[in-house]
Amino acid sequence: MTPLPALFILFATAAAVSEGQDGATVSMSIGSGASLNANGPSERLMRRERHKRSSEGRTDEGEAPAGAGDGEGDAAPDLGSSPPAAAGDQTNNDNDVTPEPTTPMMGGPAPPPAPLNIPPGRPVYPSRGGPSVDTSGRKSKTMLSVMIQGASGRQLIVDDQKTLRFSHTQGSGARWNFLDSGEDKGLLDNGENRGHIYVQSASDSTSNYLYDSTDGVVLQMGPASWKLEPTDDGHMKIKNAVINANAAHNYLRESGDSLGISTDGTEDDCKFKVTVIATGWGRSPSEAPVPVAVKVFLQGVSGKNLKEEAGAISMGDGWTDEFLWTVLDSGDSRSLMLGSTHGYLKDNGGTLESSVWNMGAAADHDKEWWLTQEEGGTMSLEGNRGHYLVDKEGEAAMSVSNALYDIGHTRRFNLILKSVAFQLAA
């Protein structure tokens, strides 16, 4: 009668052969550590089985059973501690070849991400210090809400019939969103923005985008890319990012009551005054501040602009760089106001001053501001103490009271847009 171990070997051999008919090597492990393949049991395995059967009678007489080796120094492998064979290693049988893995093992470490490639010419985050920002290069979620005023002093609006026209109203139809187009040389959604934006209506009647079609500027669901082109007098031109048939760019233009197109942008009707009425940074509280820089002029009720010069804060007439402020995400739903000489606007216990960023120190909350929309397309800047930046007949100061009825309209500033960059390098 054939012993049970021999029957098991024959059964395993038949299974291995039936599964290996395509010529591939099929190996399986048994308790002793020997192997079977599709070509049948190896000679070494046969010798081990004969040795095992011959030793079964001796174990009843108190002798220790023979080891799993073949008597020639071959010890059984320790399945609990021995490392797996390297890919391509062979046993004494030439058919026992471990194939090279083509996919990572389940549970193994993930491959490292590809390094971020920041193209040359990208705007650089202020080098004189600031908060740590997200530099992943992802498409920005920041939404900049603005009003677009034409040369006539009227606002570009979308009326209830979803028609583009100019009007003196400042209601919801006059609100627009500037969004990151995520474009770089025509490649969409790669996060390498160099100034192209989407212009979206924020009216109650539609959320469509401005689009330059062959029939003029229309509103449609699919966005088109635009580029902001600042002038030297606080205005800007808005041009199509795509070239026209004349290898030039079309510009938006106020044409009577309608929104028209200029093929070169040289007309005065192509100049617009864009004022910021809200900044939505578009991130969760657990995420790092966004790398967005919004450059504005802060114009008070006196008509003068806030100015930083040699660390001092004042107001004056002009549209040069010393009147320019960069609005940045502070990281806690507030904003930072960076001046032209790298000082941050600060409420120092009621004294308005410019203060540089102290790298490595704790956050200075007196440099943070709540930007709140006010009437007439203006905004107020509330400091950490609850007091406001005010324009006192052409002089910049902090309000003595935090009661709005005492402060009045002196807290209202126009944030006149100069430029916006949605993606900055660290």
CA–CA separation, 400 and 386 (whole Å): 10
Q: Are 32 and 76 in contact (CB under 8 A)?
A: yes
Burial of 87 (0-12, 13-18, 19+ CB in 10 A): exposed
SS3 352: strand
- CA–CA distances in Å: residue 131 to residues 263, 357, 426: 42, 9, 10
Task: Say which CATH architecture domain 124-133+290-426 belongs to.
Answer: Trefoil (2.80)
Question: What does each of the 426 residues of the chain score in pLDDT, given as a tens digit?
Answer: 445 444 444 444 444 444 444 444 444 443 433 444 444 555 655 666 665 555 554 444 444 444 444 444 444 333 333 344 444 344 444 444 444 444 445 555 656 545 444 444 444 455 556 777 776 777 888 999 999 999 999 999 999 999 999 999 999 999 999 998 876 433 444 444 456 899 999 999 999 999 998 788 999 998 999 999 999 999 999 999 888 777 789 999 999 999 999 999 999 999 999 999 999 998 888 888 888 899 999 999 999 999 998 778 999 999 999 999 999 998 888 999 999 888 899 999 999 999 888 766 778 899 999 999 999 899 999 999 999 999 999 999 999 988 777 788 999 999 999 999 887 654
Strands 312-316 and 273-280: unpaired
CA–CA separation, 172 and 340 (whole Å): 33
Q: Are 200 and 225 in contact (CB under 8 A)?
A: no
Helices (H) then strands (E): counts for the chain:
3, 27
Residue-range domain boundaries for the chain: 4-59, 124-133+290-426, 143-280
Q: Can 124-133+290-426 and 143-280 be said to share one CATH topology?
A: yes
Q: Are 323 and 307 in contact (CB under 8 A)?
A: yes
- The DSSP-derived string for 307-335 is EEETTEEEEES--SGGGEEEEEE-SSS-E
**Domain 143-280 - what CATH class?**
mainly beta
Give me the amino acid identity at 184: D
CA–CA separation, 195 and 225 (whole Å): 10
Q: Are 274 and 236 in contact (CB under 8 A)?
A: yes
Measured at the alpha carbon of residue 126, what is the angle toward residues 121 and 131, in degrees to the nearest 5? 125
CA–CA separation, 118 and 180 (whole Å): 17
Question: Token pair of 249, please?
Answer: 């760019």
CA–CA separation, 324 and 260 (whole Å): 30
For the four alpha carbons of 352, 388, 349 and 285, in that order, the dihedral sign comes to negative
Residues in the chain: 426
- CA–CA distances in Å: residue 84 to residues 32, 80, 87, 299: 16, 10, 9, 72
DSSP letter, residue 219: E
- The DSSP-derived string for 121-145 is T--B--TT-------S-PPP--EEE
pLDDT for 48 equals 61
Within 13 A of 322's CA, how many CA atoms are on the CB side?
13
- Residue 323 dihedral angles phi and psi, to the nearest 5°: -95, 5
pTM beyond 0.75, yes or no: no
Question: Token pair of 306, please?
Answer: 């806030």
Strands 368-373 and 379-382: antiparallel
Question: Token pair of 385, please?
Answer: 């103490």
SS3 49: helix
